[in-house]
A and B are shown apart, each in its own frame.
Chain A
Amino acid sequence: MIGVRERSVAIAIVVLATVLAVFTERFFSAANLTDLFLANVPVLVAAIGATLVIVSGEIDISVGSAFAVCSVAAGLAAKAGLPVAAIALVTVLLGATLGAMNGALVAFARVPSIVVTLATMVALRDGLRWATQGEWVQDLPATFQWLGQSQAVYPVVIGAVASTLVVTMAWSARDLAAGRAIYATGSNPVAARLAGLDVAAVKFSVFTLAGALTALAAVINAARFTQVPSNSGLGLEMKVIAAAVVGGAAIRGGRATLLGTVLGVVLLGAIGPALTFLGVNAYWERAIQGAIILAAVVFK
């Protein structure tokens, strides 16, 4: 389970942690770690979906736009007076539908996924901007923030949800036939079909699932605040794909572990705050991130 890539990412994280421990004092405070945790759980949840899509041999760059649409939907659902469970359900269904749209075009119309998700990325983002006219969703009921919990309890609840999700997905990917089907489809679609797998159905399901996970991430994130902006999730697709790839996912499909994705999210999520704590100027941040991703894929 712990492959070469996971090991090297883990080492990178340890190195970063050591540097931070030596040169800064406050990075490892409980409050800071909780903040970082809450900021990155949505990325992790979306990255799980992205990993599965990549494992199946496809790619999804519409994650950010779907995230934005689902966030606004969650806000509107709350304004309409729905209870928390219903808000989550409605949003996840919306996300699943958006994912299914992608999936149908990829699996049944056989349009390459980079093309489909490029089109949906632009169409959803621009469509949302047009529909909202840049306005935020405001005056939400008080139960929206923290989904009715308190600020202290929320991280615990989300932590429980996220870890259950990660463990379940990791186990399913390995031990359920459905999970193995995804790996088979990604590593050799022709062989998979000849072995009796319905490749189209697998791909369709993976995109739908990824859409549902993105929507869940959107709800978890939106509930940290009292207003929903009309343009959230900017750059999310790059973040999740980078996390999956740094964590060892092969872009051609058929190889990835969820542990690797978790480590990828941790590493990439820690860079920004680490640089702030170390006093590095903000305008080198993007270059450093690019260098790290490059290093991660070069050193196999």
Chain B
Amino acid sequence: MRLLIVALGAEVALFAAIAPNFLTVGNLAEITRSSVELGLLATALTPIIVSGGIDLSVGSMMGLAAVVFGAAAARGSVTIAAVLAVLVGMGGGGLNAVAVARLGIPPLIATLATLSLFRGIAEGLTHGAVNYSGFPSSFLFLGQGYLGGVIPAQLPLFLLVLAGYVVLLHRSVVGRAWYAIGFSPSGARHAGLPVSKRLALAYVLSGLTASLAAIVYVAHLGQAKADAGTGYELDAITAVVLGGASISGGRGTIWGTLVGLAALATLQNGLRLAAWPSELTGVITGVLLVTTIAFRRWGSAIVGEEKPVRNGQVAIICATILAGAILVSGTNVWLVRSLQPSQLAAPKLGGVAEQRRRVTIAMMPKAKGDPYFVSCRAGAEEAARELGIDLIWDGPTGLDAAKQNEVVENWITRKVDVIAVSVENRAGISTVLRKAQQRGIRVITWDADAEPDARDFFVNQATPEGIGTTLTDEAARLLDGRGDFAIITGALSAANQNEWMVHIRKRLAEKYPDVKLVTVRPSDDDRDKAFAETQTVLRANPSVRLIMAIAAPAVPGAAEAVRQAGRTGVSVIGLSLPNMNKPYVHAGVVQTVVLWNTKDLGYLTVYAGSRLANGTLASGARSVEAGRLGSLEVRGRDIILGAPLLINKSNIDTFDF
């Protein structure tokens, strides 16, 4: 524990040095707010781990509870919806309890199964796609408001649950039973403790707390979707284990979990404020986790016993961490340099400093790892170089609306000049974008829009309707107006793809009654899965003569499946990037790739941001001057890139991304 507090202190010191506005009340409130949901899960997980078990299903339970809450709130009152969600949480926890406590199934396996089950039920109920929003603002206050202007509104709830668990784990017979069971389940049984009852309680409470976390999540984000809480279970386990709980049971405290949680939340927040890539979070968390535990076990001679870390070792660890911190900040020379002139110049030169200070544009894709967005980044950086501005490129590594909000909050703290977001969730992001606007930051959306009043301009490359129509028309053309086709989409819950499919179905109904959509299969943005799904679809539905793959990795996957099956009569079209499809387009397997110039999209966004920041682009403008793209049309507050591009054999070699 001492070691962890030292590490936490080192983190705070490091980030206070290199990250702007880290050590402010506003940022502290932000760290607190973003850790409530995870904190609830970690708190509930502590007694489970202490008693020698584990619960991998907490994140999925969040998804199920969120969906139940959303569906109920859409039809009735929020209060009843909350009660229902909590009941579902207790029910799910009860299922785990029966499996582990009554049937004696190892918790890892039981909760691994319920992880799939709960998430699966949530997806099944909503078809993966339905996204509940439009909650009353009195409810949203719980997740987004501040008490007294400073304290995040969800904090009292968290403190209440925390207090309950502290009493239960540390001050009651129940808690002592949990520790005893963790040390030795058979010993506890022989001592007369009601082992099954105590274990059951821990799991039921975990389900209940997960549903509370889901309600907070929905209030925070303003949306309820089946993918809520994805991945949270691992972060929660990390926090608990970091905080000193032994994974084999018998050791751990709520306080330790809190410190572990603080260490994680501070790390994430600090890295973002310092504009370090978010991939580092995972790497550093991993290193932190392994190092603190390895050192904890260091020196214990007897298997299972843990000696406290000696002072000498603590000193070595402190020195290592601080040395690492100094190395990191040392390599951040440009950051340090860029901070100093604005601090020095401001008092002396006043207005002139404004012009000399470089404009900072913070740009966020939906998913950093997606090759589509990687190509947008290339264009964005090109524009940043031409204009001489600082570009921060960050965001979640996968589709994650909650993380997008967090990143924007960090940018607000950092006081960037312009925020440009490709929005994963419209309702959820708009609140935080409005907040940015209130703080004087200019806001643009690109690729996918937020609510119009939450941003200054939207860089629009193609409307969902345009995309759906173009794809459907191409499919109909290749099928000669009649035939069966199948869609391979990304993830079932991906908002873009679902919107396109709405327009595709509409277009089919309006214009192509003889073209039938036979089935929709998900690829989860995994090329191999798209390959396997296409293979199966072709065999299960031999009448299918066209595969429409609407996620970038899915097109080459589907194409390879068609090619390997030797089905030359089947066409493949989709929405993807040129490079990964070149061999298939040239071989005639893929007929058309629908896209737009993604590099130009990134390029245009940065130019628009820059023009917005220096005032040359303001509301009422009819056009915007964008470097090598020339003068582009502005319709209302939408900046239009151009029409969707049909990429095929004749023009694919002119693209390189």
8 Å CB contacts to B: which residues of A128-187? 129-130, 133-136, 138, 151
Contact partners of B123 in chain A: CB under 8 A: 283-284, 286-287
Whether the Cβ atoms of B368 and A138 lie closer than 8 Å is: no
Bound: A134/B580 CA distance, A: 12
**A226 interfacial by beta-carbon distance below 8 Å:** yes
Contact partners of B528 in chain A: CB under 8 A: 39, 221, 225, 229, 232
- Among B27-35, B73-81, B233-241, the one that faces the other chain is B233-241
**A188 interfacial by beta-carbon distance below 8 Å:** no
**B522 interfacial by beta-carbon distance below 8 Å:** yes
Bound: A129/B238 CA distance, A: 21
**A276 interfacial by beta-carbon distance below 8 Å:** yes
Whether the Cβ atoms of A290 and B117 lie closer than 8 Å is: yes
Contact partners of A110 in chain B: CB under 8 A: 294, 297, 300
Distance from A299 Cβ to chain B, minimum over Cβ atoms (Å): 10
Interface of A is mostly: helix
Q: Of A24, A35, A252, A289, which one neighbours B116 at CB under 8 angstroms?
A: A289
| Proximity string of chain A (256-300) to chain B, C-beta cutoff 8 Å, 1 when within and 0 when not | 000000000000000011001101011111111111011001100
Which residue on chain A has the smallest CB distance to residue B118?
A290
Q: Of B108, B120, B300, which one neighbours A59 at CB under 8 angstroms?
A: B108
Whether the Cβ atoms of A111 and B294 lie closer than 8 Å is: yes
Contact partners of B118 in chain A: CB under 8 A: 290
Contact partners of B565 in chain A: CB under 8 A: 31
Whether the Cβ atoms of A123 and B286 lie closer than 8 Å is: yes
Given A276-B537, A294-B110, CB of A115 within 8 Å of CB of B293: yes
- Among A10-18, A208-216, A238-246, the one that faces the other chain is A238-246
**B252 interfacial by beta-carbon distance below 8 Å:** no
8 Å CB contacts to A: which residues of B25-68? 54
**A44 interfacial by beta-carbon distance below 8 Å:** no
**A77 interfacial by beta-carbon distance below 8 Å:** no
| Proximity string of chain B (276-292) to chain A, C-beta cutoff 8 Å, 1 when within and 0 when not | 01011111011101100
8 Å CB contacts to A: which residues of B95-145? 99, 103, 105-106, 108-110, 112-121, 123-124, 126-128
**A127 interfacial by beta-carbon distance below 8 Å:** yes
Bound: A125/B238 CA distance, A: 16
Given A119-B290, A251-B106, A283-B128, CB of A135 within 8 Å of CB of B535: no
Contact partners of B649 in chain A: CB under 8 A: none
Bound: A31/B5 CA distance, A: 59
Interface residue range, chain A: 35 or more
**B553 interfacial by beta-carbon distance below 8 Å:** yes
Distance from B319 Cβ to chain A, minimum over Cβ atoms (Å): 20
Bound: A224/B529 CA distance, A: 13
Q: Of A242, A250, A282, which one neighbours B112 at CB under 8 angstroms?
A: A242
Whether the Cβ atoms of B521 and A282 lie closer than 8 Å is: yes
Contact partners of A205 in chain B: CB under 8 A: none
**B524 interfacial by beta-carbon distance below 8 Å:** yes
**A97 interfacial by beta-carbon distance below 8 Å:** no
Q: Of A29, A118, A125, A279, which one neighbours B539 at CB under 8 angstroms?
A: A29
**A234 interfacial by beta-carbon distance below 8 Å:** yes
Whether the Cβ atoms of A39 and B277 lie closer than 8 Å is: no
Distance from B359 Cβ to chain A, minimum over Cβ atoms (Å): 25
Bound: A119/B560 CA distance, A: 34
Total chain B interface residues with beta-carbon distance under 8 A: 82
Which residue on chain B has the smallest CB distance to residue A116?
B290
Bound: A241/B106 CA distance, A: 13
Which residue on chain B has the smallest CB distance to residue A295?
B113
Contact partners of A289 in chain B: CB under 8 A: 116, 120
**A19 interfacial by beta-carbon distance below 8 Å:** no
Bound: A115/B525 CA distance, A: 27
| Proximity string of chain A (199-231) to chain B, C-beta cutoff 8 Å, 1 when within and 0 when not | 000000000000000000000010011110111
Distance from B516 Cβ to chain A, minimum over Cβ atoms (Å): 14
Contact partners of B520 in chain A: CB under 8 A: 282
Distance from B553 Cβ to chain A, minimum over Cβ atoms (Å): 6
Given A118-B237, A130-B279, A298-B103, CB of A284 within 8 Å of CB of B112: no
**B335 interfacial by beta-carbon distance below 8 Å:** no
Given A227-B556, A245-B109, A282-B521, CB of A127 within 8 Å of CB of B234: no
Whether the Cβ atoms of B540 and A26 lie closer than 8 Å is: yes
Bound: A29/B54 CA distance, A: 43
Bound: A27/B536 CA distance, A: 9
**A81 interfacial by beta-carbon distance below 8 Å:** no
Whether the Cβ atoms of A293 and B112 lie closer than 8 Å is: yes
- Among B215-223, B369-377, B504-512, the one that faces the other chain is B369-377
Distance from B216 Cβ to chain A, minimum over Cβ atoms (Å): 24
Contact partners of A189 in chain B: CB under 8 A: 303
Interface of B is mostly: helix
| Proximity string of chain B (536-573) to chain A, C-beta cutoff 8 Å, 1 when within and 0 when not | 11011010000000000100100010001100000000
Which residue on chain B has the smallest CB distance to residue A131?
B279
Distance from A39 Cβ to chain B, minimum over Cβ atoms (Å): 5
Contact partners of A24 in chain B: CB under 8 A: 540
Whether the Cβ atoms of B539 and A119 lie closer than 8 Å is: no
Given A119-B286, A133-B374, CB of A127 within 8 Å of CB of B116: no
- Which one of A120, A276, A281 has the greatest number of beta carbons of chain B within 10 Å? A276
Given A118-B237, A126-B281, A133-B374, CB of A290 within 8 Å of CB of B108: no
8 Å CB contacts to A: which residues of B258-301? 277, 279-283, 285-287, 289-290, 293-294, 297-298, 300
Which residue on chain A has the smallest CB distance to residue B524?
A234
Bound: A272/B539 CA distance, A: 14
Distance from A217 Cβ to chain B, minimum over Cβ atoms (Å): 12
Bound: A116/B241 CA distance, A: 11
Whether the Cβ atoms of B580 and A126 lie closer than 8 Å is: no
Given A229-B553, A286-B120, A287-B121, CB of A31 within 8 Å of CB of B580: no
Distance from A132 Cβ to chain B, minimum over Cβ atoms (Å): 9
Whether the Cβ atoms of B560 and A123 lie closer than 8 Å is: no
- Which one of A39, A134, A287 has the greatest number of beta carbons of chain B within 10 Å? A134
Bound: A284/B117 CA distance, A: 10
Whether the Cβ atoms of B289 and A225 lie closer than 8 Å is: no
Bound: A35/B294 CA distance, A: 44
Which residue on chain A has the smallest CB distance to residue B489?
A282
Bound: A59/B522 CA distance, A: 29
Distance from B593 Cβ to chain A, minimum over Cβ atoms (Å): 15
**A122 interfacial by beta-carbon distance below 8 Å:** yes
Contact partners of A59 in chain B: CB under 8 A: 108
Q: Of B282, B285, B579, which one neighbours A125 at CB under 8 angstroms?
A: B282
- Which one of B525, B539, B542 has the greatest number of beta carbons of chain A within 10 Å? B539
Distance from B364 Cβ to chain A, minimum over Cβ atoms (Å): 15
Whether the Cβ atoms of A283 and B127 lie closer than 8 Å is: yes
Given A35-B539, A133-B374, A232-B526, CB of A297 within 8 Å of CB of B369: no
Given A229-B553, A245-B109, CB of A122 within 8 Å of CB of B542: no
**13 residue pairs bridging A and B, Cβ less than 8 Å apart:** A35-B536, A115-B289, A118-B237, A123-B283, A123-B287, A134-B370, A225-B560, A232-B528, A277-B536, A283-B126, A286-B119, A287-B117, A293-B112
**When A and B form their complex, which 9 residue pairs have the shortest distance between CB atoms, in order from nearest?**
A287-B120, A290-B116, A290-B117, A119-B286, A286-B120, A126-B282, A123-B286, A294-B113, A122-B282
Contacts A109-B298, A110-B294, A272-B536 known; list 6 others, CB within 8 Å.
Answer: A105-B294, A112-B246, A119-B289, A234-B526, A245-B109, A293-B109
